[in-house]
Structure 1
Amino acid sequence: MSSSTEIHRETVPPRAPWSRVLEAGQTLTIVDLDGNQAVDFLAYDAHETSRAYSAQATLQEQGSIFLTTGSVLRDNESDPLLTVLSDDVGRHDTLGGACSKESNTLRYGHHTWNQHACAENFLRELSRYGLGKRDHVPNVNWFMNVPVDPDGALGIVDGISAPGLSLTLLAEKDTLVLVSNCPQINNPCNGFDPSRAEMVVHAGV
């Protein structure tokens, strides 16, 4: 975690959204307070929101499907938005996407339709900045364990995080960041029991 001046600290309840504009040079530390919690994440250039996090550009540039220390989250023009300065976990998912009512219904049955989902959290937070569905891009899933089989099949399995583990991101430019503290209860990404996450912003590295 950064040793510079702390300017914001907030605990995000299970299933809840969170957002903030990070100024260039500020850091955001995300803490998995209780362990085995997936934290879905989006990022946008704060001054030109059409420049959003791009999984394709990020993975192509780094040559890996996982994020960890040293990974650079890039926008759709391949410009850096955020850099992972430190990571206690070792790898984070870029492929699993955000749960939605539609995907829950498809995967787990129509009885899940009324369950809250990450897509709703993201749309709620995007609306605060004048953004909507067309601005919702594929997301990062911090702390989520999504192994990829040799045949390309994805699995969502028990997390490899633990209580108190964290990662720290450096804003390379003024960046709007959005979080959905994932409400999913139908697969093991949260240990079937969504829990808290903490957001800590520092003035610098």
Structure 2
Amino acid sequence: MSQTLTHSPRHAETAVSRSTIAAGEPFLKEIKAGQTLRLLDLEGNQAVDTLFFSASNPRERYDVQRTLRKQMSVYLTTGTVLYSNLGNPLLTITADTCGRHDTLGGACAQESNTVRYAQDKRYMHSCRDNFLRASLHDGRLNKADISANINFFMNVPVTPEGGLTFEDGISGAGKYVELVAHMDVIVLISNCPQLNNPCNGYNPTPAEFLVWD
């Protein structure tokens, strides 16, 4: 899928909410139907692992299979509708200056760090740990709700043989993706702490989360 770069008319100073997500840390926020959120890659080459849930029924959540099947592409970009496991549209990508986002590579975890890299990487901080920390603190989500996520700004090409590779990011400082919510949505984020592959240049950096009415 070719990159589809679409700039937003919105300005940061008019946002109703702005939050900085520290490098390698979790973040959770609820946005309302009709609001637009922007994920901003502040320094470039950062991976922002993200899950979406219906705020009224958190058992309804982002579904990678439905989303990819309906758009017939393995990458997300402008115009992509993110569907739930109940077949409902959760959000639509309305602007994207990166051009392509991964939804197959998954979130790093103790288990994947061990299998992919080395036994001594098992206890490194991971995105799954971040998801669980934020979920337990919020109280509406639990371990069973952590499913296949989106990796915004992450570059995971699909090989001709059908495999996946983790490559240098295609994002840069100041690039962003915007999505409009079709229902009240819980946004659960791990600003990836991975140090073993080039998804964030081996150097996790902050991201910003902005919301407009």
TM class by shorter chain equals over 0.9
Contact 2:58 2:140 (8 Å CA) reproduced: no
Match of 1:181 among 172, 188, 191: 191
Alpha-carbon distance between aligned partners in 1 of 2:67 and 2:58, rounded to the nearest angstrom: 17
With structure 2 as the length reference, what TM-score do the two structures score? 0.93
Match of 1:29 among 35, 38, 58: 38
Deviation of residue 3 (structure 1)?
Answer: 5.1
With structure 1 as the length reference, what TM-score do the two structures score? 0.96
Alpha-carbon distance between aligned partners in 2 of 1:197 and 1:120, rounded to the nearest angstrom: 18
Following TM superposition, the consecutive aligned residue runs of length 4 or more in structure 1 with deviations greater than 4 angstroms are none
Q: For residue 146 of structure 1, what is the aligned residue in structure 2?
A: 156
Secondary structure of the residue aligned to 2:102 is coil
Alpha-carbon distance between aligned partners in 1 of 2:32 and 2:139, rounded to the nearest angstrom: 16
Match of 2:202 among 189, 192, 201: 192
Q: For residue 110 of structure 2, what is the aligned residue in structure 1?
A: 101
Q: Deviations over 1:126-184 (max 9, x none)?
A: 22133211111100000000000111010000000000000101011101111100000
Task: Give the number of equivalent residue pairs.
Answer: 203
Alpha-carbon distance between aligned partners in 1 of 2:142 and 2:57, rounded to the nearest angstrom: 15
For residues 36-47 of structure 1, what are the structure 2 equivalents within 5 Å?
Answer: 36-47=45-56
Q: Deviations over 1:61-90 (max 9, x none)?
A: 111010000001110011100100000011
Secondary structure of the residue aligned to 2:179 is strand
For residues 1-205 of structure 1, what are the structure 2 equivalents within 5 Å?
Answer: 1=8, 2=10, 5-127=14-136, 128-203=138-213
Deviation of residue 19 (structure 1)?
Answer: 1.0
Gaps of 5+ in 2: 1-7
Alpha-carbon distance between aligned partners in 2 of 1:33 and 1:15, rounded to the nearest angstrom: 13
- Root mean square deviation, CA, Å: 1.1
